[in-house]
Amino acid sequence: MFNERVVSTFDNKETPFYYYDLKLLNQTLSECKLAADEHHFYVHFALKSNFNDKVLSAVKAKGFGADCVSGGEVKKAIEVGFDKNQIVFAGVGKSDAEINFALDNDIFAFNVESVQELEVIDELAGAKSKKASVAIRINPNVDAHTHHYITTGLDENKFGINSWDLPLVSETLKKCKNLEFLGIHFHVGSQIMDMNVFKSLCIKVNEMQQWFEERGMPVKILNVGGGLGVDYQNPDENAIPDFKSYFKIFADFLNIKTHQEVHFELGRALVAQCSSLISKVLYIKNGIKKNFVIIDAGMTELMRPALYQAYHQIENISKLKVESQKSKDAESHISHLNSPISYDVVGPICESSDCFGKEIEMPETKRGDLIALRTAGAYGEVMASAYNLRPAIRHVYSED
Ligand SMILES: *Cc1c(COP(=O)(O)O)cnc(C)c1O
């Protein structure tokens, strides 16, 4: 993502900012769309991973739908021009106002997460003399083998309806006249790297659709959610996830009937690699056992390390520039200066968890150097906060 030319465009830019490689974003979107189209699969982009306007326009332009988890996201999706008929709305705690807004806009489907929510949507739809299309979010009790904060598909999680409540669900659906049962929905977690998780999910989906069909309730939609992971360790080598293999698992293991639609909700896999958080080194502090690099970005700009102990590759991209100049210079005898030093890279926020990485090996780093926190396009900018009265986050795009 970074070379001397790209880094030189940052020279007069105020830091910190999110840098977007729009070419990589478009390539990623195209590869995903192509791989999904091959199986006639529908993909909705999870807005919660990134709702930057340029990102959303690119996603929309490629023909993706929108996966929303709040009324605000439904509104945003409509504003940027997503087809209302391609908007799905999940969330364990939809308010009446959010449900009404979605009803007024005739979205494609509510992914419903409790029996009580079914009754509320039925009542609100009735008051508008409308029929709401619903998919039942089922908690499949499949372990995503990911960080416990981003696991959503186990019995103990708050998401979805547990299988023992399904008889009550089918009874409720039969008595609620303002609901149309579309199908079933699942989402087992995020940053899933073990493809066996998706195979287990397929098996669960097959069982569940059979359960409904046996009760005379045709399942038109199988929505298997998102969760495909990205390579945080090797952002340049694996810039684009293997969408082909991912979709093939569902084509191979799902029991897809004719006239049934298969829907996906991908967030991270589509946007994580296209952006890095760029920050400037403010100070170097040498401790007894540690050297600290204090940068001008903190957990207020990128919360994932503080929130999930997430790893982001950290690069001194000013050194990258200097080194490439040096390598051109055959006379250079100062290569020993480049032997790496171990640093803890921390932000300016008054929290000990405001730390981006411990014992990170980097070339000798100085005040004013630019630091890139890689793979920050998903769940980065969207989680920025004003804590410590920090200014609003800025962005720079590759075409600027
Ligand atoms: C967050 C979320 C997604 C997207 O997850 P990724 O791991 O970013 O692909 C999809 N569906 C639902 C319901 C979600 O909450």
Ligand 1 pocket by Cβ (under 6 Å): 46, 48-49, 67, 69, 90, 187, 190, 225-228, 265-269, 378
Domain C-terminal end among 251, 272, 293: 272
**One domain for residues 181 and 320:** no
Render pLDDT for 107-121 as a digit per residue (tens, 0 to 9). Answer: 999 999 999 999 999
Mean pLDDT within 274-291? 93
Domain C-terminal end among 272, 295, 321: 272
pLDDT at 173 exceeding the cut of 90: yes
pLDDT at 28 exceeding the cut of 80: yes
pLDDT category, 371, cuts 50, 70, 90? very high
pLDDT category, 29, cuts 50, 70, 90? very high
Structure tokens at 54: 């340029």
User: Given this model, what pLDDT does residue 38 score?
Assistant: 98
pTM as predicted = 0.94
User: Given this model, what pLDDT does residue 280 score?
Assistant: 98
**In this structure, how many other beta carbons lie within 10 angstroms of the beta carbon of residue 283?**
12
Cα 20-236-400 angle, rounded to 5 deg: 20
Spatial CB neighbours of 107, under 8 Å, sequence gap ≥ 6: 74, 84, 85, 87, 88, 89
CATH code, domain carrying 223: 3.20.20.10
The letter for the amino acid at 5 is R
**One domain for residues 278 and 211:** no
- Look at the chain and report how many structural domains it folds into: 2
pLDDT at 337 exceeding the cut of 80: no
Point out the catalytic residue in the list 68, 202, 274, 350.
350
**One domain for residues 43 and 138:** yes
**One domain for residues 234 and 140:** yes
**Which of 50-54, 157-161, 197-201, 301-305 is predicted least confidently?**
157-161
Between residues 141 and 217, the one the model is more confident about: 217
pLDDT category, 144, cuts 50, 70, 90? confident
pLDDT category, 141, cuts 50, 70, 90? confident
Going from the Cα of 186 to the center of ligand 1, the distance in angstroms, rounded, reads 10
**One domain for residues 140 and 281:** no
**One domain for residues 239 and 284:** no
Ligand 1 pocket test, pick from 44, 49, 55, 185 with the greatest ligand atom count within 8 Å of Cβ, gives 49
Max Cα–Cα distance, the chain, nearest Å: 83
The mean of the pLDDT values for the chain is 93
The letter for the amino acid at 390 is R
CATH code, domain carrying 370: 2.40.37.10
Relative to beta strand 314-316, strand 109-112 is: unpaired
Mean pLDDT within 249-271? 97
pLDDT category, 322, cuts 50, 70, 90? low
Closest listed residue to residue 344, CA positions, set 284, 277, 293, 390: 293
pLDDT at 331 exceeding the cut of 60: no
CB distance 230 to 273 below 8 Å? yes
What is the 3 state secondary structure string of 303-351?
Answer: CHHHHHCCCCCEEEHHHHHHHHHHHHCCCCCCHHHHCCEEEEEECCCCC
User: Given this model, what pLDDT does residue 145 score?
Assistant: 77
User: Residue 143: which domain range?
Assistant: 22-272
Of ligand 1's atoms, which has the minimum distance to the CA of residue 44? 10
User: Given this model, what pLDDT does residue 142 score?
Assistant: 85
What percentage of the chain carries pLDDT values higher than 90?
Answer: 85
Structure tokens at 351: 């929290």
Measured CA to CA in angstroms, residue 259 lies from 216, 219, 221, 254, 262 at distances of 16, 10, 9, 14, 10
Of ligand 1's atoms, which has the minimum distance to the CA of residue 90? 13
**Which of 49-58, 148-157, 333-342 is predicted least confidently?**
333-342
Question: Residue 168: helix, strand or coil by DSSP?
Answer: helix
Mean pLDDT within 12-41? 98
pLDDT at 67 exceeding the cut of 70: yes
227: left (phi over 0), alpha (psi -120 to 50) or beta: left
Between residues 150 and 104, the one the model is more confident about: 104
User: Given this model, what pLDDT does residue 345 score?
Assistant: 98
Domain C-terminal end among 233, 248, 272: 272
**One domain for residues 170 and 95:** yes
User: Given this model, what pLDDT does residue 400 score?
Assistant: 59
User: Given this model, what pLDDT does residue 333 score?
Assistant: 52
Mean pLDDT within 28-45? 98
**One domain for residues 51 and 160:** yes
Active site residue 355: no
**One domain for residues 61 and 181:** yes
Going from the Cα of 105 to the center of ligand 1, the distance in angstroms, rounded, reads 22
**One domain for residues 217 and 87:** yes
User: Given this model, what pLDDT does residue 321 score?
Assistant: 64
**One domain for residues 60 and 198:** yes
User: Given this model, what pLDDT does residue 156 score?
Assistant: 73
Mean pLDDT within 284-302? 93
**One domain for residues 256 and 343:** no
Between residues 327 and 126, the one the model is more confident about: 126
DSSP structure string for 69-120: SSHHHHHHHHHTT--GGGEEE--TT--HHHHHHHHHTT-SEEEE-SHHHHHH
